[in-house]
Amino acid sequence: MRILSIFFIISAVSLGTICAQSNPNDGGNKQDFQIYFKQPIKEIKHIMYDKNFLPIQGEISKDKKSVVLKNWEKGTKVRVKVTYEDGTEDEIVKSPCFIDPVIL
C-alpha cells in the first residue's frame, strides 16, 4: 500500500512538471509585443535591437498607433524609426519597461 501511494505521488508530480513545460504560450506560440506612438504611423523604416542592431520583425497595428513586434527577445531595448502620416520621421529607443504585450 505504501509503495502504491509513493507511485501516485511521483506520478502526480511528474504530470504537473510535464504540463508546466508544455504551456501553449511558450515555444511555438510566442506572444507579440507592441510599442505605442503619439500619432498614426504611415511606414516603418527599421526595427532593431539597440545593442547589436539585429533586425526585428514587426508591423503597424490596425489603429496605426503602435508597432507590433514579432519574436522580440524580452529584456532588450528596441530602436524603431517610423514615418508618421503627416510626413515627419521619428527614431526612438524604447527600454523593455515601455514595450507592452499585445492583448487579444
Q: For residues 43-70, give the mean pLDDT.
A: 96
Let me know: does 32 contact 101? Beta carbons within 8 Å.
Answer: yes
Domain boundaries, the chain: 32-104
pLDDT band, very low/low/confident/very high, at 88 (cuts 50, 70, 90): very high
> What backbone torsions phi and psi does residue 33 show, to the nearest 5 degrees?
-130, 165
Q: Classify 53 in phi/psi space as left (phi over 0), alpha (psi -120 to 50) or beta.
A: left
The residue that leads in pLDDT, 1 or 83, is 83
Q: Give the model confidence (pLDDT) of 6-45 as tens digits.
A: 655 776 555 454 433 434 444 556 789 999 999 999 999 9
Let me know: does 101 contact 33? Beta carbons within 8 Å.
Answer: yes
pTM value is: 0.69
